[in-house]
Structure 1
Amino acid sequence: MRPLDSLRSFKVKLGVLVAVSVSVAVFLTWASVKAGLSSFVTLPLVVLAALVVTQVLARGMTSPLRQMTRAAQAMAKGDYSQRIASSSRDEVGQLAEAFTRMASDLQQTDQMRRDLVANVSHELRTPVAGLRAQLENMVDGVTEPDPAALAVALTETERLSSLVDHLLDLSRLDAGVIQVQTETFALTPFLHEAVDAAELGARSGERGLHWAIEVDPPDLEATADAARIRQVIANLLDNAARHSPPGGRVRLHARPAEPSPGPAESGAPDHGADAPPRETGIWIEVSDQGPGIARADRERVFERFQRGGGSDGSGGTGLGLAIARWAVELHGGTIEVIDDPARERENDRSSVIRVHLPPPRSAG
C-alpha cells in the first residue's frame, strides 16, 4: 500500500507527510493530557505513533531512488538489465521512468556495439584468410603467380577495400558530419557511368551478366548530391550483381515519380488553393533476376549487416543497403523493396528496389 502515489508532486507529498505526522502528534499529546497520562508515557507514545504514521505514508516514496542506486552500480559493471519499478506519479516516478528508458537505450547501444565488433571481425576474417592463403600458396610455390591467381588476390583485396569504405561511411553517418551539396545533372549519362563502374567491379563479362538502362524521358534530370546518389546506385547495382545468376539481367530504370492522390482522387475534401501541392520527384529502380527478398525481410535488409535475413555467402558486407538508405534519407527521399510485377506467382518475394528522390525545396 502506497497512500501518496496518486499525488503528482514530491513537495506536496512531503507537505502532506509533515502535516499528518504533526496532526497525529498534537492529537495524541492532547488526548494524553486529557487522560492524565504522565509525560514519560506521553512522549514515547507520541514519537512512536508519529514514526508509524510517517513510515506508512512514506512507503514507496524513496524506493525508486534506492533501486536507481543499485541499477547505476550494476550499469557501472556493464549490466544494463536493471529496470526501475515505480507506481508514483511525482518527480521521482518520472525520474524512474526516464532512468529505465536510459538503461534500455544503453543496453541496445551496447548490444549494437558488440554486434558491430563481432560482424566486422567476421567480415574481415573471410577476405583476409582468402588473401593470406593465396599469397602463401604463391610464396610456397604451390600456385604460380599467374593472372588467375593474382585475380583471386585482387578480388579479396577489393572486398577488404569495400568493407573499409563502408565502415568509414558508417562513421560519418553516426557522426552526422556529411552535408548535402545539391546540383542538377542529367540522369542518362550519370546512370551509364554508374553501370560502367559496376560492370568492372562485378566482372560481368566472366559471369555473363547483362545490363539494361532505361531513362524515361531520356533528358530526365535530377537535383541532388551527385556523389551521394552515385554511391546509392553503386551499392544497389553491386547488390543486384552479386545476387544475379550467371547470364542474369540487371535493369536500371529512372522515370518521374507518379504523383500522390490529390483531394479529388483520394476522396478528401478539396480546399482549393489551400491544398498542398502533390509531391512527385524521381523514381530510380534497380531489379535483378536473383532469388528475391522475402516480404518479411523487406525492412530488415536496410539494416546494418543484414542480407535478406541472414548471410547468403554472396560476399557482400551487409552494409551497402544501410548506407544507401542513409544517403537517400539525407535528401528527404525513401528507399524500399517494392512488389515485382514479373513475380506475380511469387508474390512474397521481390528483386526490385526503388529509390524516390523528392523535388528540390524552393528557397522561399
Structure 2
Amino acid sequence: MPGTDVQKADVTGGEKQPRSAKKGAGAGAPVADAAPPPLRRRREPMMDDEMQAIIYRISHDLRAPARALHDLPSWVEEDLDAAGVALPGQVSRYLELMRRQAGRMHNFIADLLTHSRVGRMQEAVEIDLASAVADALRREGVPQSFQIEVKVAPGARPVLGPMDLDRLLSALISNAVRHHRGGGSGQIGIEVVPEEEGVRIVVTDDGPGIAPEDRERAFAFLTTLRSRDEVEGSGMGIPIAARICEAYGGTLELESLPEREGCRFTATLRHLPEGLSG
C-alpha cells in the first residue's frame, strides 16, 4: 500500500504447533467462492455501570479460587510422590481432567474480567502502533512456522487506552492462530491505517472461512463454533474485540475472502470512550 512501511517476517522452526482448526475464526463449513457481503457488527448497547461493576467484582473474586482448583491436583500429586505413594493410572487421569477443567474455568473468569474493564480503569496515552503490534505477536506466542506480514502506515500513533488496544490485538491475533489452515503452518496479515478520525486495524487469516449462517454466531457472547475439546477458548475473544470497537465509537467487521480461503476482521476505533481522557 503506498505510503506504508512494510515489515515481513517468515520464520520457520521446530516450535510447538497450535491445534489444527479447519474453520477460520471459529468457522462453520468452508465458504463458497462468492463470499457474502461483509458483516458489520455493532454490539448490543453497553451494560450500565452498576452491572459492569457487579461483573467485575464477581469475576475478580472468583479468580483466586479458580487458580487454587487448578493447582490443587498438582499439590496432591507432589505430596503423594514425596510420601512414596504411587497413583493408579486412572486416578492420575482424573487429576489431569480436574486440572484441565479448572484451567478452562480460570480463563473464562479472566475473560469476564477483561470484558468488564473495557473503556475503564486505564489512562489514555499516545501509542506507537508498530510497537504495539510487535508486542502482541510476541505475547500471543505465534509459532515460528507461521508467515506474518505486518503493514503499519506512518503516523499511526493514536491516543487510546493501552489495555484496550492490547486486548483487541490479542483477541484478533489469537483467533487467527487458532483457526489457521492446519498442517503446522499458517499465514497472518496485519494492517494498521490511521484515518481522519481514529485508526483502522485489519487482521486476516488463512483458514477456510466462516459460513454465512455462522457469521452472526461468531460475535455471540460465550459461543464457540467448534467444540472446546477441539479448539480451546471461552467464546469471548471476538465479542470482547467488538465491545472495544463499540466503546471507541467504531465497529468490528467480518468478511470471508473470495480470492482465497480465510477471514478478514476490520476493527475501527473512532474516539475515546466517555470517562476515558487522554
* TM-score > 0.5, shorter chain as reference: yes
Q: CA RMSD in A?
A: 3.9
Which structure is richer in relative contact order (CA contacts within 8 A, separation 6 or more)? 2
Alignment partners' CA distance in 1, 2:192 and 2:214? 25
- SS of the aligned residue for 2:238 comes to helix
Identify unmatched segments of 5+ residues in structure 1: 1-123, 146-151, 258-278
Identify unmatched segments of 5+ residues in structure 2: 1-65
| Deviation (angstroms), 1:254 | 0.8
Alignment partners' CA distance in 1, 2:133 and 2:235? 23
Residues 178-218 of structure 1, C-alpha deviation per residue, up to 9 Å, x if partnerless?
3663221111011100111011xx5x24xx3333322123x
AA partner of residue 327 (structure 1): I
Q: Could you say which residue in structure 2 is the equivalent of 1:250?
A: 188
Alignment partners' CA distance in 2, 1:283 and 1:155? 37
Call closer, same or farther: CA 1:306–1:184 in 2, change over 3 Å: same
Counterparts of residues 178-327 of structure 1 (less than 5 Å):
178=120, 181-199=123-141, 204-205=143-144, 208-217=145-154, 219-244=155-180, 245=182, 246-257=184-195, 280-308=197-225, 310-311=226-227, 313-327=230-244
Q: Could you say which residue in structure 2 is the equivalent of 1:356?
A: 268
Kept after mapping to 1: 8 A contact 2:148/2:188: yes
| Deviation (angstroms), 1:155 | 8.0
Call closer, same or farther: CA 1:302–1:230 in 2, change over 3 Å: same
AA partner of residue 164 (structure 1): I
Alignment partners' CA distance in 2, 1:360 and 1:327? 10
- SS of the aligned residue for 1:167 comes to helix
More helix by share: 1
Alignment partners' CA distance in 2, 1:351 and 1:159? 26
Alignment partners' CA distance in 2, 1:154 and 1:187? 37
Alignment partners' CA distance in 2, 1:300 and 1:158? 24
Kept after mapping to 1: 8 A contact 2:172/2:203: yes
More strand by share: 2
Residues 64-102 of structure 1, C-alpha deviation per residue, up to 9 Å, x if partnerless?
xxxxxxxxxxxxxxxxxxxxxxxxxxxxxxxxxxxxxxx
Aligned residues: 192
Call closer, same or farther: CA 1:223–1:154 in 2, change over 3 Å: farther
Alignment partners' CA distance in 2, 1:233 and 1:178? 17
Alignment partners' CA distance in 2, 1:156 and 1:186? 38
- SS of the aligned residue for 2:265 comes to strand
Kept after mapping to 1: 8 A contact 2:119/2:244: no
TM-score, with length taken from structure 2: 0.56
| Deviation (angstroms), 1:314 | 0.9
Q: Could you list the structure 1 runs, at least 4 aligned residues long, displaced by more than 4 angstroms after superposition.
A: 152-160
Q: What is the percent sequence identity of the aligned residues?
A: 24
Kept after mapping to 1: 8 A contact 2:171/2:238: yes
Structure 1 or 2, whichever has the larger Rg, is: 1
TM-score, with length taken from structure 1: 0.44
Alignment partners' CA distance in 2, 1:158 and 1:192? 27
Kept after mapping to 2: 8 A contact 1:239/1:316: no
